Amino acid sequence: CHLIHYLRLSHHLIVLNYLICTFDKLKSVSSEDIKITDAVFDGVEVRVFEPPAKADESLKRSVVYIHGGGWALASARTSLYNNLCRIMAESLNAVVVSVEYRLVPKVCFPEQYHDALRATKHFLQPDVLAEYSVDPSRIAISGDSAGGNLAAAVCQQLSKDEDLAVRPKLQALIYPVLQAFDFNTPSYQQNMNMPVLPRYVMVNYWIDYINGDYGLAHELLVNNHTALNVGRALSFRARLNWTSLLPPSFQKSYKPVVQATGTAAIVERLPALLDVRAVPLLADDATLARQPRTYVLTCENDVLRDDGAMYATRLQRAGVPVTLDHFHDCFHGCMIFTVWPTDFSAGVQTRNSYIKWLDENL
């Protein structure tokens, strides 16, 4: 059974990796409009996109971008992300820093988080911002999917760092993965077999990220790791109660899956399942209240739809201005698919809406 499961996952990852890495990694080739350079920020590789200076402008705004791919795929240098960040730099006239964090299986949690945090904190230093002519008061942190997870976790940590002179003005999260507590939210139930990101694949991304065992996949799928007899999970339950956090249009007719008795040993073996650095939706209200103005993009045909919607609700209740930008006919990952041969209208639609919000708020 485990072998069949592994072969299904391997085939899916091969196909997805082909889509994301449609072409080989691109070297840092600047164009007339955008200067593209590769650099190292506190030991972490980054790719920096800089629009040309304008005569009437002294400082530019900026976006720190963290790519998706289940913490295991893609790169800041692949054509799809290179194209997205170049268009962002052009459209916003902004310096875009794309973080090349290390991937599974080379490293697991918390190393991806540490890479993203180190690179971001390095960039936020006043002398580094001055080097790139960036306005310290106009910086956003953003990411898609697993990159949205890292962006949210980094933003939470930055909000707690009392020694930090500069913090992001905004965070923009694109179909982010924010929790491993409940794999039976309405969107997980509705889209469990949806192409691009079926539920079993997302569960296995989590297992790989937190260095677990594929043999635990079934336990996670039925929420045995957060059953009512798992004491360590009880205190977090209200923070992910989708019956109170999701609008009726998202809940539909789905019912919660809450086990009376489960397997408490899972969270003992894999404490990252309840670690806020891996699971930003578990953050307490005080932490959420410190977050900057937030944009969350969700897609109807996506297991992660409710992760983003629940986070938006919790942030709003904590007093944070939030824009929840929901697309009824779009799917997970669509924003990066705007380049032939995977040029989809859903990608252009979501990308334009995301850039428009940044332009109006950054």
Residue 204 lies in a domain: no
Q: How far is CA 220 from the centre of its chain?
A: 21
Residue 254 lies in a domain: no
Q: Name the residue range of residue 121's domain.
A: 1-180+273-360
pLDDT number for residue 54: 80
CB environment 44-72: b (16+ within 10 A), e (fewer): bbbbbbbbeeeeeeebbbbbbbbbbbbbb
pLDDT for the residue numbered 3: 43
* Cα 324 to Cα 315: distance, rounded to the nearest angstrom: 11
How many separate domains does the chain show?
1
pLDDT digits (tens, 9 = 90+) for 178-194: 999 999 999 999 999 99
What is the structure's pLDDT at 338?
81
Q: What residues are labeled active site?
A: 145, 302, 332
* Residue 164: predicted pLDDT: 95
Taking a C-beta distance cutoff of 8 angstroms, is the pair 152, 178 a contact? yes
Mean pLDDT of the chain: 92
Nearest CA to 67 out of 52, 92, 88, 53 is that of 88
Q: Tell the burial category of 286 from Cβ atoms under 10 Å away from its Cβ (0-12, 13-18, 19+).
A: exposed
Q: Given a cut of 50, is residue 22 above it in pLDDT?
A: no
Over residues 39-65, the mean pLDDT reads 93
pLDDT of residue 193: 97
| Any domain includes 7 | yes
CA angle in degrees (0–180, nearest 5) for 168-172-177: 120
Confidence band for 121, pLDDT divided at 50, 70 and 90 = very high
Residue 58, CA distances (Å) to 54, 134, 135, 169, 327 in order: 8, 9, 9, 19, 37
Is pLDDT above 90 for 330?
Answer: yes
For the whole prediction, is pTM greater than 0.85? yes
pLDDT at 112 over 60: yes
Q: Is residue 258 part of a domain?
A: no
Binned at pLDDT 50, 70 and 90, residue 53 comes out as confident
**Which segment of 2-11, 172-181, 235-244, 321-330 scores lowest on mean pLDDT?**
2-11
Give pLDDT tens digits for 130-174: 999 999 999 999 999 999 999 999 999 999 999 999 999 999 999
> CATH number of the domain that 143 lies in?
3.40.50.1820
CA distances from residue 199 to 53, 103, 188 in whole angstroms, order as listed: 45, 21, 6
39 within a domain of the structure (yes/no): yes
**Cβ-Cβ contacts under 8 Å for 222 (sequence gap 6 or more):** 184, 257, 259
CA 157, CA 282: separation in Å to the nearest integer? 13
Residue 55 confidence class, pLDDT cut points 50, 70, 90? confident
For residue 10, tell me if it sits in a domain: yes
How far is it, in rounded angstroms, from Cα 312 to Cα 307? 9
199 lies in some domain: no
Q: Longest Cα pair distance anywhere in the chain, in angstroms?
A: 66
d(C-alpha 342, C-alpha 50), whole Å: 26
